[in-house]
Amino acid sequence: MQLRSYSAADEAAVIALWQACGLTRPWNDPKRDIERKLTEQPELFLVGELEGRVVATAMIGYDGHRGWVYYVAVEPALQGHGYGRTLMARAEELLVARGCPKINLLVRQGNDAVMAFYEKLGYGADAAVSLGKRLIPDN
Ligand SMILES: CC(C)(COP(=O)(O)OP(=O)(O)OC[C@H]1O[C@@H](n2cnc3c(N)ncnc32)[C@H](O)[C@@H]1OP(=O)(O)O)[C@@H](O)C(=O)NCCC(=O)NCCS
């Protein structure tokens, strides 16, 4: 799998991948999420390509204190072949290269299957509760 930064031509394939992976939600317009990411550290929006096809994504950011990763996805038919591990390793490398001391990510309630994946990669639950407040509605 070749990892590179997102480019505009990837939009439809990326959104289709997120839908296939169950990552889209009615309150997050994926097109707007992509547009917003392209305004901040666009080079950290990674896509994984296999034979010219988008098969993986990770939307990474460093806010000066923590690194975050969203939209971690590998095409369902290709899961379990190490692509997710490769993707997260690159995310970590890019963050460390920027001096980021810690990476955080959110796992939605009910997405229990993914917990084993992150545990294998050395991630653990923080003693913290994630609070959020929507500032700009998408719908
Ligand atoms: C989570 C996801 C990105 C993992 O990608 P992947 O390519 O299947 O993962 P890998 O093949 O690199 O797996 C890495 C390790 O985690 C383990 N693992 C992965 N998924 C697992 C699962 N569901 N249960 C148990 N172990 C799992 C693998 O066995 C592997 O272990 P090993 O290296 O010791 O053999 C992928 O399953 C996915 O896109 N899921 C749907 C979207 C999603 O939920 N994203 C996360 C949002 S927080």
Burial class (CB in 10 A: 0-12, 13-18, 19+), 14: buried
Contacts of 34 (CB under 8 A, 6+ apart): 6, 11, 14, 15, 45
Average the pLDDT over 116-137 and give the result. Answer: 96
Token duo for residue 6: 């997102």
Banded pLDDT at 15 (limits 50, 70, 90): very high
- How much is the mean pLDDT over the chain? 97
pLDDT for residue 43:
98
Buried b (16+ CB within 10 A) or exposed e, 40-77: ebeebbbbbeeeeebbbbbbbbbeeeebbbbbbbbbee
Least confident among 39-48, 67-76, 91-100, 109-118: 109-118
CB 48 less than 6 A from any atom of ligand 1:
no
CB 74 less than 6 A from any atom of ligand 1:
yes
Extents of the domains making up the chain:
2-120
pLDDT surpassing 90 at residue 139: no
Atom number of ligand 1 nearest to Cα 85:
12
Three-state DSSP at 123 gives coil
Q: Contact, 46 vs 70, CB < 8 A?
A: no
- CATH code reported for the domain at 2-120: 3.40.630.30
Q: How far apart are CA 83 and CA 127, in angstroms?
A: 29
Summarize pLDDT for 65-107 with one digit per residue, the tens: 999 999 999 999 999 999 999 999 999 999 999 999 999 999 9
pLDDT for residue 78:
98
pLDDT surpassing 90 at residue 132: yes
CB 76 less than 6 A from any atom of ligand 1:
no
